Amino acid sequence: MKKDLHPSNYRLVVFKDMSNDYTFLTKSCVDTKETITWEDGNEYPLVKLEISHTSHPFYTGKMKLVDTAGRIDKFRSRYQK
């Protein structure tokens, strides 16, 4: 087996899904500047995710429509007649 093939800086890291505030603690070697206090009272590095298994349509079975610009409402009001 090759030496120094895998990273040696594995540590506990908190991942947070920003769409539904779901958090989980796991080991990772990802670099981050933010930290968060976990349920056990210890402080861990924080990685913010846009999507996780709790918000992805494949795993939830729900399609979520995100319309931040209001394009659908604009379309409906234009062609309402």
CA distance 21 to 36: 13
Give pLDDT, residue 66: 59
Query: What pTM was computed for the model?
Result: 0.65
List, in sequence order, every residue forming a beta bridge with 26; answer none if it has no partner: 13
pLDDT surpassing 90 at residue 8: no
Give pLDDT, residue 63: 64
36 and 14 Cβ atoms separated by less than 8 Å: yes
- Which pLDDT tens digit goes with each residue over 26-81? 999 999 999 999 999 999 999 998 877 777 666 566 665 555 566 777 777 778 76
**Can you list the alpha helix ranges (DSSP code H) found in the chain?**
57-60, 71-78
- Which pLDDT tens digit goes with each residue over 10-25? 899 999 988 888 899 9
Give pLDDT, residue 73: 74
Domain boundaries of the chain, sorted by first residue: 11-78
Give pLDDT, residue 44: 95
CA R_g for the chain: 20
- Give the max Cα distance, the chain: 71
